[in-house]
Amino acid sequence: MVHLSILHARIITPTGVIEDGCVVIRDGKIHQLLPPGAALPDGPVLDAGGNWLAPGFIDIHVHGGGGYDFMDNTIEAFLAIARLHARHGTTSMFPTTLTSELSDLYATIECYEKALSHGHDGARFLGLHLEGPYFSKEQRGAQDERYIRNPDPEEYRAIRQKTAHIRRWSAAPELPGALAFSDFCRSNGILPALAHTNADYDQVKAGVQHGYRLATHLYSAMSGLTRRNGFRIAGAIESSLLLDEIDVELIADGAHLPEALLKLVVKVKGKEKIALITDAMRAAGTSVKQSLLGSKSSGLEVIIEDDVAKLPDRSAFAGSVATADRLVRTMVQLAEVSIPDAVYMMSTTPARIMGVADTVGSLETGKNADLVLFDDDIRIQQTFINGKPVL
């Protein structure tokens, strides 16, 4: 049974754009991609009006939105965040934690497990991203210093035993025990990512050899060029740009990174190695001027100004208030990449990094009908998850 045909669309596919094309959806999957003028199967039709039709956006690093944080540890929070970001084009996400009390982390894991069994009309959950607590205190950013510590095998093994849904774990590779930790992650199907790190080039290289293959929010809370006895030493930023094994995340909200750095990363890494992330906290999608980073019970107070979250003393950013459509728009308007290339960084590269490219991340027959329809200014017209419109 044909569920929907979307016609008169500029369809972004892995091999190029089909102008005035049609996508036929059947049983929640992409059934056909048709050229202009092709005969349509019977069934409902949606006229895209010449707008762009792209694979749904995949956010591999997101903390909250719509006034909620995943670490509020309620089903209401999980589902509200999923709905908010779906309205902005996100069809899949990896709920992300913060450095916290171990009991709070366990509560988030338990809530995630419960949320999976709830039917909802928002972005689907594809696994957990644990951000911390194994970080450098010198590069803590807005992470709560009280809970930062070195990797503890007894602890991380116990956390893994709580759930099979951890897909990624961000840590600082230079810490004592961090290489053994990454070995453990790899053996359990978890992607180790370098984050909040003060590592130098040699330490990053050692991390890569043990599985650190993703740089969490490049430039943010990450060491750069330093001097040691007068000699220049490359930091985690330069190492991530240089080493081909490392993919990078960009918070492309127009605040975390200026035009020059966005263009530099695109020039060096290319769309195939860049994943756009919101790193959104609870204030995303709201108009509040004060908020919390993390849970309502133990989160850090932040202010919202200049379209970004900041610590009250303005010493550091404290997460973004962006949605995925804003990231794509920023890359097009500020970094001057094409719309298909920006979409690639928001869909195809994240899917490949997280190992889900067999079902999502590109418009190809047989994949999930996760689609987003938007105009030339990246204003979302409609999001589809499994072929069903998000209301």
Q: What amino acid positions are annotated as catalytic residues?
A: 279
- Phi/psi for 158 (5° steps) reads -65, -40
One-character DSSP codes across 59-83: EEEE-EETTEEGGG--HHHHHHHHH
How many other C-beta atoms lie within 10 A of the C-beta of residue 365?
Answer: 11
Which class for 26: exposed (0-12), middle (13-18), buried (19 or more C-beta within 10 A)? middle
Amino acid letter, residue 239: S
Q: How many Å separate Cα 104 from the centre of its chain?
A: 22
**What letters, b where the CB count within 10 A reaches 16 and e where it falls short, cover 297-320?**
eebbebbbeeebbbbeeeeebbbb
How many other C-beta atoms lie within 10 A of the C-beta of residue 379?
Answer: 10
Among residues 17, 16, 19, which one has the least CA distance to residue 8? 19
Residue 119 CA to residue 172 CA, distance in Å, equals 36
